C-alpha cells in the first residue's frame, strides 16, 4: 500500500488530484483526499463540463445568475471560479505549511484562445485576478502562441501551469519561457521570486496510445515504452535546464524550479498496469496529477521506489529503437497537441451550449 506522504518525504514527488466538482467540495471528498496526502489539484474544461452537466449541483446557482442578468458563458466562469476559490481555500493550509511548494489549484483559460497570444495573456491575467488566491495556477497550453503569454505571466509574478506538452523539444521551450520570465521579474530588486511557481504538464499515456497504434504488432517489444522514455528524457532536460550559472543567479533570489508534472497518467490500455504511469515516473522535484481511479489504485498497490532517472541508457535505447521503427515522435507530439486542444474546446463548447439551452 502506497503512502503519499512517504512518497513526498522520501522521493520528493507530489501527487495532485486531476478532478474537481461541486460535490467534491460539499461532501468532504476533497478534504479526505488532502488528508490522504494529496498535495494539489488540477482541472480542465473537460472536467468542468462533466461536473456541471453530470449533476444538478450547479442548478440553483445557475438560475440565480440567470435571474441577475448574467449570460450563460459569464455564469459558467462564475461557477468555475467559485469552485476554484473553494478548492484553493481547502489547500491553503498546505500551501502555507509547505512554504508555497504545494497546495496549488489549477484552472485553465478558455481553450479557444490557444492560438491567440494576446487573448491568452488577457484571459490569464483576468482569471488570476478574479480567483484572487495566492495558491492558484493559471493553466496555459504550451502552443507556440502560448509561450510568450507564459513568459509574460511569470514576469508579472503570476504562477502558471503550462499544459498540453507532448514532446521534450516543446518542454525545453516551456522551461526557457519560465526562466526568461523570472529574469524579467528579477530586474525589480524588490520582487519576491520565491512566490512564483510553475509546473510543466508533460502528457504521458496519450503518447503510448498513439505510438502503439502506429507500431501495430510488428514491433511488439516497443509497445508501451514511448511515453515513459519521453518522460525520462524530459526529466534529464529539466535537470540540465535548472543548473549552472544562469539558474544559480535566479535561485539566489529565491526562485523555484519549474517542476515537471506528469499528466494524463491514467492507464488507457487495460493490458498495462493501472499504476504504470505513476510507478515508472517517480523522482525528486516532480508532480504526478492523477484521476480518482488511478489514485485509488496507487494507494492500494503502488510503489514508492525512485524510477525516473535510474535507467538512462535504457531510455536512450528505447528512443533509438522507436526512431528505427519509423516512429516520428515530433509528429506524434504535433498530432496530440491538436487533438488535445480540440478535445478541450469541444468540451467547453458543449457545456456552454447546454447552459444556453437551460437558460432558454
Which positions are annotated as active-site residues?
139
Closest listed residue to residue 308, CA positions, set 331, 339, 287, 322: 287
- Please give the Cα distance from 163 to 258 (Å, whole number): 13
Dihedral pair phi/psi, residue 165, rounded to 5°: -95, 125
By the 8 A CB rule, do 174 and 143 touch?
no
Can you read off the three cell numbers belonging to residue 158? 503570476
Bridge pairing between strands 286-290 and 259-263: parallel
Distances (CA, A) of 232 to 202, 221, 238, 271, 313: 11, 19, 10, 22, 11
By the 8 A CB rule, do 236 and 309 touch?
yes
By the 8 A CB rule, do 114 and 143 touch?
yes
- Please give the Cα distance from 323 to 305 (Å, whole number): 29
By the 8 A CB rule, do 109 and 48 touch?
no
By the 8 A CB rule, do 54 and 33 touch?
no
- Please give the Cα distance from 296 to 151 (Å, whole number): 36
**How many other CB atoms are there within 10 angstroms of residue 166's CB atom?**
28
By the 8 A CB rule, do 290 and 314 touch?
no
* Residues present in the chain in total: 360
Amino acid at each position: 500500500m502506497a503512502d503519499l506522504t512517504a512518497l513526498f518525504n522520501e522521493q520528493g514527488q507530489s501527487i495532485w488530484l486531476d478532478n474537481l466538482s461541486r460535490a467534491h467540495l460539499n461532501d468532504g471528498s476533497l478534504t479526505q483526499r488532502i488528508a490522504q496526502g494529496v498535495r494539489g489539484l488540477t482541472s480542465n474544461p473537460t472536467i468542468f463540463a462533466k461536473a456541471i452537466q453530470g449533476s444538478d449541483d450547479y442548478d440553483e446557482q445557475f438560475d440565480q445568475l440567470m435571474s441577475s442578468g448574467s449570460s450563460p458563458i459569464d455564469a459558467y466562469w462564475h461557477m468555475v471560479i467559485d469552485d476554484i476559490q473553494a478548492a484553493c481555500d481547502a489547500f491553503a493550509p498546505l500551501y502555507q505549511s509547505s512554504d508555497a511548494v504545494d497546495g496549488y489549484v489549477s484552472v485553465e483559460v478558455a481553450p479557444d484562445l490557444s492560438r491567440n497570444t494576446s487573448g491568452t495573456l488577457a484571459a490569464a491575467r483576468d482569471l488570476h485576478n478574479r480567483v484572487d488566491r495566492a495558491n492558484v495556477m493559471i493553466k496555459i497550453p504550451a502552443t507556440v502562441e502560448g509561450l510568450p503569454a507564459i513568459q509574460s505571466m511569470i514576469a508579472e509574478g503570476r504562477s502558471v501551469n503550462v499544459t498540453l506538452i507532448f514532446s521534450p523539444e516543446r518542454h525545453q521551450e516551456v522551461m526557457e519561457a519560465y526562466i526568461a520570465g523570472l529574469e524579467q521579474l528579477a530586474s525589480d530588486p524588490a520582487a519576491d521570486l520565491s512566490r512564483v511557481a510553475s509546473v510543466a504538464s508533460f502528457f504521458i499515456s496519450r503518447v503510448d496510445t498513439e505510438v502503439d497504434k502506429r507500431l501495430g504488432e510488428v514491433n511488439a517489444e516497443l509497445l508501451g515504452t514511448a511515453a515513459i522514455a519521453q518522460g525520462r528524457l524530459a526529466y534529464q532536460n529539466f535537470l540540465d535546464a535548472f543548473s549552472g550559472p544562469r539558474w544559480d543567479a535566479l535561485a539566489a533570489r529565491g526562485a523555484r524550479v519549474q517542476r515537471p508534472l506528469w499528466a494524463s497518467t491514467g492507464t488507457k490500455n487495460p493490458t498495462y498496469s493501472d499504476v504504470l504511469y505513476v510507478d515508472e515516473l517517480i523522482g525528486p522535484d516532480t508532480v504526478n496529477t492523477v484521476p480518482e481511479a488511478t489514485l485509488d489504485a496507487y494507494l492500494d498497490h503502488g510503489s514508492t521506489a525512485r524510477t525516473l532517472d535510474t535507467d538512462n541508457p535504457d531510455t536512450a535505447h528505447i528512443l533509438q529503437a522507436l526512431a528505427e521503427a519509423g516512429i516520428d515522435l515530433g509528429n506524434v507530439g504535433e498530432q496530440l497537441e491538436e487533438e488535445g486542444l480540440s478535445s478541450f474546446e469541444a468540451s467547453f463548447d458543449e457545456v456552454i451550449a447546454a447552459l444556453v439551452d437551460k437558460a432558454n
